[in-house]
C-alpha cells in the first residue's frame, strides 16, 4: 500500500484521486512519517447502504472480481509502457 506525505498528497491530489477511483488503489496519508489516514475507493454496496438500498453479497463479490481483473489488466498494460513516463500519467 503506497504511503504519501501530506504535502505530496496536496501537490498531487488529482493524480492520486484518479488512481484511487480508476485502479482501486489504497493510499496511506502520513504526517511526519506517521500514518494519519487511509484513502480508498467507495464501493457500490457502501454507497447503496448509505442511500438505504439493499446490496447482495453476490453483487459485491461480482464487483470485486471485476475490479481485480481490471487492475490486473492495467498493471500488465503499464508494464508495457514507456518507463520514462511518470506513473501518474500512465492511467489517463
Size (the chain), residues:
92
- Does the predicted model carry a pTM greater than 0.75? no
Q: Please tell me whether residues 48 and 37 are part of one structural domain.
A: no
CATH number of the domain to which 36 belongs: 3.40.1620.10
Residue 91, pLDDT > 50, answer: no
Torsion of CA 8, 38, 42, 57, to 10 degrees: 150
Contact 55, 45 (CB under 8 A): yes
Q: Please tell me whether residues 51 and 23 are part of one structural domain.
A: no
Residue 87, pLDDT > 70, answer: no
Q: Please tell me whether residues 34 and 46 are part of one structural domain.
A: no
Amino acid at each position: 500500500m503506497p504511503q504519501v506525505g501530506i504535502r505530496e498528497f496536496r501537490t498531487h491530489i488529482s493524480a492520486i484521486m484518479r488512481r484511487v477511483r480508476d485502479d482501486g488503489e489504497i493510499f496511506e496519508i502520513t504526517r511526519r512519517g506517521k500514518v494519519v489516514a487511509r484513502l480508498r475507493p467507495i464501493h457500490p454496496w457502501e454507497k447503496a447502504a448509505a442511500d438505504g438500498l439493499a446490496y447482495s453479497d453476490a453483487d459485491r463479490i461480482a464487483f470485486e472480481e471485476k475490479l481485480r481483473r481490471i487492475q490486473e489488466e492495467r498493471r500488465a498494460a503499464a508494464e508495457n509502457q514507456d518507463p520514462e513516463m511518470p506513473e501518474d500519467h500512465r492511467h489517463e
